[in-house]
Amino acid sequence: MTALAEEVAPVIVDDFDDEGAVVVLTSPDAKKAKYTGEHRVPYGTDAVIPEGPAKGFAVGKGIVAS
């Protein structure tokens, strides 16, 4: 993982997860090269980034609406 990946929580907007979901990956583990935590919410629910410089930023309906 890069230093940036350790500071920023990646956000995945997945149209194919049931009726759509937002996934925030957290707790990067550089030794295993994976994220050990995730926060998954359905479209229409705010996905709030829990840590890092974007802590508190919400990915909500306005962002995923098409």
The model carries a pTM of: 0.75
**7 or 30: which carries more pLDDT confidence?**
30
Q: CA 7 → CA 17, 24, 60, distances in Å?
A: 26, 13, 21
Of 2-16, 21-35, 49-63, give the range with the top mean pLDDT: 21-35
Task: Please tell me the distance from the alpha carbon of residue 2 to that of residue 12, in angstroms, as a whole number.
Answer: 18
